[in-house]
Amino acid sequence: MEKDSALKYEKLQKRLKEMGRLVVSFSGGVDSTFLLAVAREVIGDQVTAVTAAGRSVPEWEIEEARVFCRERGIRHIVFSFDELEVDGFADNPPDRCYHCKTAILQKVREAAEQVDTVYIAEGSNVDDDGDYRPGKRAVQEAGVISPLKEAGLTKAEIRQLSKEMGLATWDKPSFACLASRFAYEEPITAEKLRMVELAEKFLREHGFSQYRVRMHGSMARVEVLPEDLERFLDPKLRQVFTGHMKELGFTYTALDLDGYRTGSMNDALK
């Protein structure tokens, strides 16, 4: 562990120990998994994980979160959540994430009250300040703590520390919620969310590690890593994939030549 990362890690441990009892808003991603694992080491069974099982979260990711907590003996509360019932979500405005996050954190707060816990933490890191993230305002308004950010930890440091801790998520690709796949103002429906989930499932099952299927009306814009572009264009794979996309309901399928990049839907806001 590098000296700078070690100091940040110690700062994180100290902060978690100060809180004593803690609820972690747990998605199963790289950041929240690391935060939960460290909290388990520092405060033991005083930490509780709370996960929102919503329409915009792939089923496999919820199951991974369940397995992680079960294997480590962490108390885990999973609640069903329908984003489409949240005012300001289905219409998909640029601040959609704020409305959704606000509703989710309210449910997390209710879960925290059930286990007699005051402090709630989530997994944002310092790199998250570099992109348009309206959900940050919801975190601040809800009084939720961001210990990784407070400790000054970057995404790269969290991955490295996760690797040293033996966490399988250390190299897990980034997965934002499925709602992030829609162009702003494109109405979001349960059917469209399912279309995107099944399209991305195909890519995952065919060995692509980092990808997005962005929805623009009846067209799907596919992003894969630049080094995977050539493999994606293999005639046999491409033919099977485009056929699968038509079966799902997409009229057109386009490949983004810039490749995968986080937050590409925010390009339109700039």
pLDDT in tens, 165-212: 999 999 998 888 999 999 899 999 999 999 999 999 999 999 999 999
Residue ranges of alpha helices (H) inside the chain are 3-19, 30-43, 59-72, 96-114, 135-141, 147-150, 155-164, 190-205, 229-232, 235-248
177 is a catalytic site residue: yes
Q: Are 142 and 109 in contact (CB under 8 A)?
A: yes
Tokens representing 67 are 């397995």
Does residue 269 carry a pLDDT above 60? no
Question: Above 80 in pLDDT, residue 95?
Answer: yes
Q: Residue 128: what pLDDT?
A: 84
Of the listed ranges 131-140, 150-159, 179-188, the least confidently predicted one is 131-140
Task: Write down all domains in the chain, each with its CATH number in brackets.
Answer: 3-171 (3.40.50.620), 178-269 (3.30.70)
Distance (Å, rounded) from C-alpha 151 to C-alpha 34? Answer: 13
Which position among 69, 97, 100, 177 bears the catalytic label?
A: 177
Which tokens sit at 107? Answer: 């449910």
Tokens for 141, please give them: 């308004």
pLDDT at position 135: 85
For residue 242, which of 233, 232, 253 has the smallest C-alpha distance? Answer: 253
Distance in angstroms (rounded) separating the CA atoms of residues 197 and 202 = 9
The structure's pTM equals: 0.89
Q: ∠ at Cα 234 (231, 235), nearest 5°?
A: 165
State the average pLDDT over residues 216-240: 95
What is the share, in percent, of the chain residues with pLDDT greater than 90? Answer: 87
Query: Binning pLDDT at 50, 70 and 90, where does residue 265 land?
Result: low
Split at pLDDT 50, 70, 90, the class of 50 is very high
